Amino acid sequence: MTASTDRERALEQDVFDEWPPALRAAFDGTSLETKIGFTASLITRDANGHLRTSLLGVGELYAPDSRTLCLALWPHSRAARALSGGGRAALTFVFDDAFYQVQLDIEPLPGTGGDLACFTGSIDTGEAQRVRYARLTGGITFDLEGERETVLDRWKQQIEHLKKTAGASPGR
């Protein structure tokens, strides 16, 4: 057996177009205090064609069903501007010892404004990668310092807003 064959067999790749149950539970908008620290990278393309990364926590992500992810972004953020007319984005993160990359088709959610720019993303394709010789123990993570309760309250309000907005979206 060659070295490249060993490496190929060591890589486990799962492809999906619906959230696996454990991930859907992670993005269900509940028990946010137990999910503090989880960070996902949202990768968008700006007007100049540059790829940009925005870091999102569980208080900004909500999966209303098995094929959708709603996002709550600051309205003047680079990601919100890049997605204002719809488009594509990738969400990457570490979860359950694997690296995930999810390709999303994004549309603005109607009726949003003010403090939040809300979007809905349909999963085009998702991929989880693991290797047998190493276990991913984390990606980008964080701790809330000093304003834990304030941030948790804001997240809960954002998730409630996403739930209401996603429920009012056509096709739901």
Q: What share of the chain is helix, strand, coil (3-state, %, to 5)?
A: 25, 35, 35
Residue 138 maps to a domain: yes
Residue 171 maps to a domain: no
Residue 1 maps to a domain: no
Q: Which CATH number do you get for residue 131?
A: 2.30.110.10
Range of the domain at 57: 11-166
> Domain tally for the chain?
1
What is the rounded distance in angstroms from the CA atom of residue 128 to the CA atom of residue 144? 28
Q: What predicted TM-score, i.e. pTM, was given to this entire model?
A: 0.83
What is the rounded distance in angstroms from the CA atom of residue 56 to the CA atom of residue 73? 8
Residue 4 maps to a domain: no
Q: Which residues face 127 on adjacent strands?
A: 15, 101
Question: For the segment 122-166, what is each residue's pLDDT rounded down to a tens digit?
Answer: 999 999 999 888 888 878 878 788 888 999 999 999 999 899 888
